[in-house]
Amino acid sequence: MLKSSETEKNLSVDQMNFLFFLFKWRKILIIISLAAAIISAGVSLLIPNKYKATVIMFPTSTNSVSKALISSTWGGKEDINEFGEEEQAEQMLQILNSNEIRSRVIEQFNLMDHYGIDSDSKFKNTKLYEEYNSNISYSRTEYMAVEISVIDKDPQIAADIANEIANLYDTVKSNLQKQRTVEGFYIVQGTYNELEAEIQWKEDSLTKLRKLGIHDYESQAERLNEAWAREIGKGNLPGAQMIAAKLDTLAKYGSAYVSLRDALEYEKKMLTEMKAKYEEAKVDAEQVIPQKFIVDHAITPEKKAYPVRWLIVLISTFATFITAIIGIILYENFRKFKRLTS
């Protein structure tokens, strides 16, 4: 209990000493703080105003147009109007941060000149990319949307860049997907055309066999054998010979007819399935749908977002005030040290 009271007494003494210290050096501290406030205010006025424009958008959950719209064989459930989730949001951020989008924005808005970077500088691209990254950023919101933020000294350019980046997202993602869907379509198209040609060849071959009198091997063989037996039974040798000749033709080409007929039936079923895949692949290769839902387009900002001059003045003044106190304390301790050593 005695120690606690003594500690409180010491704290009270220290506080009084600090207040006395502030009072003693009040004029110097006030002058330094006022000077810092005036200088920081002047410096803040030299900082150009910058405006912030934002786009809020959700990724889609659908990557395949055909599976979402026309496929009857796809077992999954894809809704063209369904918002994407965390995985799609992360993919969207990765695409937005891609070199392709950055390069297109830089070229379209001539950001090298806009940011005042010397095109003859040895490190011009490094400076350009640093400026780009400091002014253009992407982040995920708590609701799995993605926010595009653009800061620029020109409010209209800030809004234009933000909206253009949102548009470029569709272009870049579609191009990435097209690399696979187009190749996939060519593969399916080649297989489909080969199957069609194979079926046509078999149909032509069956047509030739039908011209030889082979129409339905099983039923023809049964009927001809019955007819041959009847003619033999009647003693009609010429009639039996005619039927025997047909049986010889049937025996010669019958197995080929059966093989072609069965293969043709199987391949026609395959062609039906392949046609559905062909149509789906064609849709995916040729059609493009938006890859995002835009909640808020960027509009031209009316108020500056940077700099917050009063905050700059406040922080600068406070930092200078604290620095001055530390400097004075060091100065007083140094004086005491000299007196003790002299």
Q: Evaluate if residue 235 carries a pLDDT over 70.
A: no
Q: How far is CA 167 from each of CA 164, 173, 175, 242, 290, rounded to the nearest angstrom?
A: 5, 10, 13, 79, 9
pLDDT tens, 268-306? 888 888 888 887 777 777 767 777 888 999 999 888 877
Task: Determine contact, residues 278/192, Cβ cutoff 8 Å.
Answer: yes
pLDDT tens, 178-215? 877 788 888 888 888 888 888 888 888 878 877 777 77
**pLDDT at 2 (0 to 100):** 44
Task: Determine contact, residues 72/181, Cβ cutoff 8 Å.
Answer: no
**pLDDT at 73 (0 to 100):** 53
Backbone angles phi, psi at 59, to 5 degrees: -75, 160
Q: How far apart are CA 272 and CA 73, in angstroms?
A: 12
Q: How far apart are CA 148 and CA 296, in angstroms?
A: 10
What's the 3-state SS for the chain? CHHHHHHHHHHHHHHHHHHHHHHHCHHHHHHHHHHHHHHHHHHHHHCCCEEEEEEEEEEECCCCHHHHHCCCCCCCCCCCCCECCHHHHHHHHHHHCCHHHHHHHHHHCCHHHHCCCCCCCCCHHHHHHHHHHHHEEEEECCCCCEEEEEEECCHHHHHHHHHHHHHHHHHHHHHHHHHHHHHHHHHHHHHHHHHHHHHHHHHHHHHHHHHCCCCCHHHHHHHHHHHHHHHHHHCCHHHHHHHHHHHHHHHHHHHHHHHHHHHHHHHHHHHHHHHHHHHHHHHHHHCCCCCEEEEECCCCCCCCCECCHHHHHHHHHHHHHHHHHHHHHHHHHHHHHHHHHC
pLDDT tens, 64-94? 656 555 555 544 445 566 777 888 889 999 9
Q: How far apart are CA 153 and CA 147, in angstroms?
A: 20
Which amino acid would we find at residue 207? Answer: T
**pLDDT at 218 (0 to 100):** 67
Whole-prediction pTM: 0.65
Q: How far apart are CA 269 and CA 272, in angstroms?
A: 5
Is the four-CA dihedral 86, 91, 95, 98 of positive or negative sign? positive
Residue with tokens 């934002």: 54
